[in-house]
C-alpha cells in the first residue's frame, strides 16, 4: 500500500516517533506534576509555568555553554524556576493580587528576563556535555537513552514528592488548599505553605525546561507558550485514566497522562488522513482540555436530570 494510506511513513520512523513522544511526555510530566501541585493541591491556578519552563531551559543552556557541570546547571534551572514561583506567591500572598493575575504578571516579566539570560532569542547546544552524555556510549540507541534517563529522573521526583506529601509539612500543604480556614485554626501557616508549594511547582517546571533544552539541544524563549495548557491536559488525562484518591497514584497519573497526551498528539499529527500539521498543536491541545473540562459537567447534568424523569424510574 502507498505511504499516504499508512499513518506512519515506515516502521523505523514509527519507533523513533514513539520514543520521541515518550521522551517529550516524560519531560512534560514534571510540568504536569508541578501543575498538579498548584492547581489541584493548593487550588492556586498558576500560569507562571509558561515563563518558568523557558527560564529553566535558558539558565541551563547558558550555564552549559559556560562549562558548568550539567547536573549543577539543571539544579540551577530548578532553583531559578522556584524563585519565579516565589515572585508569583509574593504578589498574591503579600500584596493580595489575584493569583491568576499575579502569575500572568510574572509570566510576562519572565519573557524579558529569559531574553536577558540568553542574550538572544535562542541558544543552541551543539557540543556541550549534558546529563545525557555519559549514557550515550553504552550501546543503547540514542533515541532510547533519552527517555530512559529522563524517566529515571521523573521516577525519583515522583518518589520524593509522594514522600513529601505524606509528611506533616506536606499534609499541612494539602489542608491549605482544601480548607485554609481550618488549616489556620490547626496552626498551619497557610501563607508559608503557598510560598513553598508554588516555589516547588515552578522548580519542577524549571527542571523540566532544563531537561527539554538538553534532550532537544536548544533553548528558545518561545517554548514556554502554552506550557500551562499542556501541563493541565496531562493532569486531566491522568485523572481520567487513573482516577485515584491515593496521592502517589495521582502523581503517577500525571506522568501517564503526559505520555498519553504526547502519544495522542503524535498519532494525530502522523495520520495524514486527518490533515493536521504541527502548527495545529496548540489548537488541538486547547480543544482537548476544553472538552475534558466540559465532559464531567455534562455527565453530572445527565445523571442529575435522569431520576427526575418518572417514566425512567419505573
According to the binding rule CB under 8 A, does residue 157 interact with other proteins?
no
**Out of 100, 189, 293, 301, which residue is the one contacting other proteins (CB under 8 A)?**
189
Residue 106, interface with other proteins (CB under 8 A)? no
The answer to whether the CB of 187 falls within 8 A of the CB of 60 is no
Whose Cβ is closer to other proteins: residue 142's or residue 189's?
A: 189
> What grid cell was written down for 218?
536548544
Query: What span, in angstroms and rounded, lies between the C-alpha atoms of 106 and 49?
Result: 9
Q: Specify the stretch interacting with other proteins by CB under 8 A; choose among 78-86, 99-107, 187-195, 269-277.
A: 187-195
**Of 154 and 183, which CB lies nearer to other proteins in the complex structure?**
183
Instruction: Check residue 47 and report its DSSP letter.
Output: -
300 is a site residue for other proteins (CB under 8 A): no
Dist CA 239 CA 172 (whole Å): 23
Q: x-or-dash pattern for other proteins, window 160-179, by CB under 8 A?
A: ----x-xxxxxxx-xx--xx
Decide whether 179 or 216 has the Cβ nearer to other proteins: 179
Provide, rounded to whole angstroms, the least separation between the CB of residue 150 and other proteins: 26
Give min distance, CB of 43 to other proteins, in A: 10
190 contributes a contact to other proteins by CB under 8 A: yes
Determine phi and psi for 220, rounding to 5 degrees.
Answer: -145, 135
Asked if 297 touches other proteins (CB under 8 A), the answer is no
Shortest Å distance, C-beta 250 to other proteins: 12
Min separation Cβ 13 and other proteins, Å: 45
- Min separation Cβ 236 and other proteins, Å: 18
Residues with Cβ < 8 Å from 9, sequence gap 6 or more?
3
The beta-strand segments (E) located in 221-313 are none
Q: Distance (Å, rounded) from C-alpha 168 to C-alpha 308? A: 45
Q: Are 164 and 170 in contact (CB under 8 A)?
A: yes
Minimum Å distance from CB 42 to other proteins?
13
Which residues are 220's β-sheet partners?
122
Q: How far is the CB of 127 from other proteins (least distance, A)?
A: 41
Q: Which of 137, 187, 307, 310 binds other proteins (CB under 8 A)?
A: 187
Verify binding: residue 182, other proteins, rule CB under 8 A.
yes
Stretch that binds other proteins, among 148-156, 185-193, 256-264, 275-283 (CB under 8 A): 185-193
Q: Strand, helix or coil at 132?
A: coil
| Residues that contact other proteins, how many (by CB under 8 A) | 23
- Given a contact cutoff of 8 angstroms between Cβ atoms, the answer to whether 87 and 106 are in contact is yes
Does position 183 bind other proteins by CB under 8 A? yes
Q: Which of 186, 222, 282, 305 binds other proteins (CB under 8 A)?
A: 186
H/E stretch holding 218 reads strand 218-220
Q: Which residues contact 134 (CB under 8 A, 6 or more apart)?
A: none
- Under the binding rule (CB under 8 A), the answer on residue 244 touching other proteins is no
Q: How far is the CB of 121 from other proteins (least distance, A)?
A: 41
Which set of grid coordinates corresponds to residue 265?
498528539
Min separation Cβ 181 and other proteins, Å: 6
Helix, strand or coil, per DSSP, at residue 13: helix
Q: DSSP secondary structure string, 53-104?
A: HHHHHHHHHHHHHTT--HHHHHHHHHHHHHHHHHHHHHHHHTT---HHHHHH
List residues near other proteins by CB under 8 A: 164, 166-172, 174-175, 178-179, 181-190, 245
Amino acid at each position: 500500500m502507498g505511504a499516504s494510506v499508512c499513518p506512519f511513513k515506515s516502521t523505523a520512523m514509527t519507533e523513533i516517533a514513539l520514543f520521541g513522544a515518550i521522551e517529550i511526555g516524560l519531560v512534560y510530566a514534571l510540568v504536569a506534576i508541578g501543575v498538579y501541585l498548584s492547581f489541584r493541591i493548593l487550588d492556586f491556578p498558576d500560569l507562571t509555568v509558561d515563563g518558568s519552563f523557558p527560564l529553566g531551559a535558558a539558565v541551563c543552556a547558558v550555564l552549559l555553554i559556560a562549562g558548568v557541570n550539567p547536573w549543577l546547571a539543571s539544579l540551577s534551572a530548578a532553583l531559578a524556576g522556584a524563585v519565579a514561583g516565589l515572585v508569583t506567591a509574593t504578589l498574591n500572598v503579600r500584596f493580595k493580587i489575584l493569583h491568576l493575575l499575579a502569575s500572568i504578571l510574572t509570566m510576562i516579566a519572565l519573557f524579558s528576563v529569559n531574553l536577558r539570560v540568553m542574550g538572544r532569542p535562542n541558544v543552541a547546544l551543539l557540543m556541550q556535555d549534558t546529563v545525557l552524555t555519559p549514557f550515550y556510549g553504552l550501546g543503547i540507541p540514542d533515541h532510547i537513552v533519552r527517555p530512559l534517563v529522563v524517566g529515571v529522573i521523573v521516577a525519583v521526583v515522583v518518589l520524593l514528592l509522594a514522600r513529601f506529601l505524606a509528611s506533616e509539612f506536606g499534609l499541612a500543604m494539602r489542608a491549605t488548599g482544601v480548607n485554609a480556614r481550618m488549616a489556620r485554626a490547626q496552626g498551619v501557616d497557610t501563607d508559608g505553605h503557598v510560598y513553598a508549594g508554588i516555589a516547588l511547582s515552578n522548580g519542577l517546571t524549571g527542571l523540566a525546561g532544563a531537561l527539554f533544552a538538553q534532550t532537544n539541544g536548544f533553548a528558545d524563549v518561545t517554548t514556554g507558550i502554552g506550557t500551562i495548557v499542556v501541563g493541565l491536559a496531562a493532569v486531566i488525562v491522568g485523572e481520567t485514566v487513573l482516577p485515584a484518591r491515593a496521592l502517589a497514584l495521582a502523581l503517577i497519573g500525571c506522568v501517564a497522562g503526559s505520555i498519553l497526551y504526547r502519544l495522542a498528539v503524535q498519532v494525530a499529527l502522523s495520520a495524514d488522513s486527518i490533515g493536521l500539521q504541527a502548527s495545529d498543536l496548540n489548537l488541538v491541545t486547547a480543544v482537548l482540555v476544553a472538552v475534558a473540562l466540559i465532559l464531567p459537567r455534562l455527565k453530572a447534568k445527565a445523571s442529575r436530570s435522569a431520576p427526575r424523569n418518572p417514566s425512567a424510574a419505573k
